[in-house]
């Protein structure tokens, strides 16, 4: 059975959907919803038979409670009970941790803003599952981080900024990344250019950031791996 995919786009500027869709085989069924209010999160969403749900990144802070937060938390918990695979990206990764553990699982990073094409280090398990090298450069843009994972999780990647950069949980059907695998060099550097005022307020030089790019096809690696996982509902 082909995957039936839902993208929940929390990005505020509504640009996550397009870059995530660009990483997914066009022959697959993909629905998407922009989530920014309580009303935008359907009450009956759990009744839809999705096999894979992707929780996007966002400029929002996981340490704040948004109008949709309570509904999103309930939905994440119900999906976990149903055995539906969920992928969290940055804010979405943090949202899953907050839903399944609580606010103690997330924090504002003590090291501040992480931005740019930054290295992450994959352990043996990460290299085995994903077919990546020990160190890869990926797209980063975040202030918050996850510091505790659901029971049964396996850490896949780390770096000096945030200990939890990627993980897998086969029992709870979870894949999470602190970084953004959906951005390629073109889309990632375009984002940096558009966000240049904010980035430079944090004492980073955009012209230096855009000289770089990913060391692998992150979209292909992570989304193909995620969608290959089988739902048990």
Is residue 16 part of the annotated active site? The answer reads no
pTM: 0.97
Q: With a cut of 90, say whether residue 168 has pLDDT above it.
A: yes
Question: Does the pLDDT value for residue 233 go beyond 60?
Answer: no
What pLDDT, on a 0 to 100 scale, did the predictor assign at position 99? 98
Q: What is the pLDDT of residue 84?
A: 97
Residue 175 has pLDDT above 90, yes or no: yes
The answer to whether residue 232 scores a pLDDT higher than 90 is no
Torsion of CA 57, 226, 19, 49, to 10 degrees: -80
Can you give the pLDDT at residue 190?
98
pLDDT for residue 1: 76
Domain 4-227 has CATH 3.40.50.880: yes
Output the average pLDDT for the chain.
97
The band of 79, judged by pLDDT with boundaries at 50, 70 and 90, is: very high
90, 93, 114, 142: which one is catalytic? 90
Query: What is the DSSP track for 49-69?
Result: --SEEEE---SS-TTS--TTH
Nearest to 121 by CA among 182, 179, 76, 196: 179
Answer positive or negative: Cα dihedral of 219, 222, 225, 226. negative
Q: Is 231 a residue whose pLDDT tops 80?
A: no
User: What is the band of 42 on the pLDDT scale with cuts at 50, 70, 90?
Assistant: very high
Confidence band of 67 (pLDDT split at 50, 70, 90): very high
Place of tokens 């995919």: 5
Q: Average pLDDT of 122-144?
A: 98
Tokens of 80: 């976990």
Over residues 190-216, the mean pLDDT reads 97
Please state, for a pLDDT cut of 70, what percent of the chain lies above it. 99
**Domain regions of the chain by residue span:** 4-227
Given the residues 55, 173, 182, 231, select the one marked as catalytic. 182
In the DSSP assignment, the letter for residue 144 is E
Q: For this structure, is 231 an active site residue?
A: no
Tell me whether residue 90 is one of the annotated catalytic residues: yes
State the angle between helix axes of 91-100 and 69-82 in degrees (0 to 180), rounded to the nearest 10. 70
Catalytic residue among 118, 136, 180, 231: 180
Section 58-74 average pLDDT: 97
What pLDDT is stored for residue 223 in this prediction? 98
């Amino acid at each position: 059975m082909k995957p039936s995919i839902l993208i929940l786009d929390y990005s505020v500027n509504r640009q996550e959907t397009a870059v995530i869709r660009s990483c997914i085989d066009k022959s697959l069924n993909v629905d998407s919803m922009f989530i920014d209010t309580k009303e935008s999160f359907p009450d009956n969403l759990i009744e839809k038979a999705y096999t894979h749900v992707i929780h996007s990144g966002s400029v929002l802070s996981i340490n704040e409670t948004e109008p949709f937060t309570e509904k999103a938390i309930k939905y994440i918990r119900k999906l976990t009970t149903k055995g539906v695979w969920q992928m969290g990206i940055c804010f979405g990764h943090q949202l899953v941790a907050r839903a399944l553990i609580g606010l103690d699982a997330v924090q504002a990073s003590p090291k501040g803003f992480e931005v740019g094409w930054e290295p992450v280090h994959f352990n043996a398990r990460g290299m085995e599952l994903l077919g990546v090298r020990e160190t890869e450069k990926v797209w980063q843009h975040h202030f918050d981080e996850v510091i505790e994972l659901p029971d049964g999780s396996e850490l896949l990647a780390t770096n000096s900024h945030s200990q939890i950069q990627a993980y897998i949980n086969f029992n709870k059907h979870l894949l999470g990344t602190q970084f953004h695998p959906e951005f390629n060099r073109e889309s990632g550097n375009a984002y940096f250019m558009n966000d240049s005022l904010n980035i430079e307020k944090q004492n980073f030089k955009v012209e230096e950031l855009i000289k770089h790019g990913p060391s692998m096809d992150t979209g292909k690696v992570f989304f193909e791996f995620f969608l290959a996982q089988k739902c048990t509902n």
